[in-house]
Amino acid sequence: MGIRLSTVRRLAIAASACLVLAWPGGGNASSATGSAHGRSDAPNRADAVAVAAPRSATVAAATDRVSRARHALDDLQQRLRVLRTTTYEGDHSILPAAPAESLALRRSRRYAESAANAVMTHLSDAQRELDAAEQEQKQALADYFAALAAAAEAERVAQEETARVAREQAARAVSTPSARPTGGGCAGEISCFLACTRAHESDTAGGYQAVSPDGRYRGAYQFDQTTWNSVAGSIGRDDLVGVNPATVAPADQDTMATALYEMRGTQPWGGRCG
């Protein structure tokens, strides 16, 4: 028995379904003016992949799997459309009445209908493969940016220890460690950028729990919620979407700031600490 066209359309549709931080307002969170606003080019999954895939074999492999799975699904959907056209050709419930069908045409329609049913079964498998591939890609992205942020934090700690030893050896006090600058000049060094940004945004106003006076910007890097959600979604951290940045673990806040910095540079922070 043939499958109704409306059912086929529903199956085809179902099968095919698969920023800004607080702009610095002249100081830390306690004196922020709240001048930041959401950006029209908020980070997305493509941005995260563009940054991570050339540097991570795991992300590259997961992205290749997604591409192959999506291509396979598209191919099956195209085959189904062709077979459905053959199946309903000459069907008087779909098209106007036509002359009596020949035996060859009836056989062709019967074959096309059987093949279409088989393709729809494969469509379900293809959709599951695409879902699994996308989940693998999201996890690979999340792991990549977490590792990048962790490495930056380890470097910062090492730099501060080196500075401490140097101060002791020189027997003089240094008011600000070299690893925690308050101005520009990080030259692309992530650990320097993170420390510098915290010094401007939150160190004297609550650190990782900082909240701007108007409540809009939160956490060590003063994300607004819209940008936070965009970054979290782009790097596969769906568990952080909608979560108040100031309540998130420091390591995760570092990861989010690192990801945004990798995708957008210092621009979301007004070009500071570059």
Per residue in 8-30, pLDDT (tens digit) is: 344 343 444 333 333 333 444 43
pLDDT at 127 over 50: yes
Average pLDDT over residues 258-272: 92
Averaged confidence pLDDT in the chain? 76
Average pLDDT over residues 228-252: 96
**Amino acid 184: pLDDT:** 52
The mean-pLDDT minimum among 47-61, 71-85, 137-151, 208-222 falls in 71-85
pLDDT at 212 over 50: yes
The mean-pLDDT minimum among 8-17, 79-88, 102-111, 133-142 falls in 8-17
- Nearest in space to 190 (alpha carbons), one of 239, 111, 263, 243: 263
HSE of 134, CA atoms in CB hemisphere, 13 A: 15
The mean-pLDDT minimum among 133-147, 172-186, 250-264 falls in 172-186
pLDDT tier at 107, thresholds 50, 70, 90: low
**Amino acid 112: pLDDT:** 57
**Amino acid 203: pLDDT:** 87
d(CA 66, CA 135) in angstroms, rounded, equals 9
Please tell me the pTM assigned to this model: 0.66
Share of the chain above pLDDT 90, in %: 47
Average pLDDT over residues 89-103: 47
- Please list, in sequence order, all residues whose beta carbon lies within 8 angstroms of the beta carbon of residue 164, skipping any fewer than 6 positions away: 177
**Amino acid 116: pLDDT:** 64
Which helix (H) or strand (E) element contains residue 126?
A: helix 103-170
pLDDT at 39 over 60: no
Instruction: Give CA separation, 116 vs 8, 81, 111, in Å.
Output: 9, 9, 9
**Amino acid 26: pLDDT:** 40
* Packing angle, helices 57-88 and 103-170, rounded to 10: 160
pLDDT at 176 over 80: no
Q: Are 181 and 274 within 8 A, CB to CB?
A: no
Higher model confidence: residue 122 or residue 246?
246
Average pLDDT over residues 69-82: 84
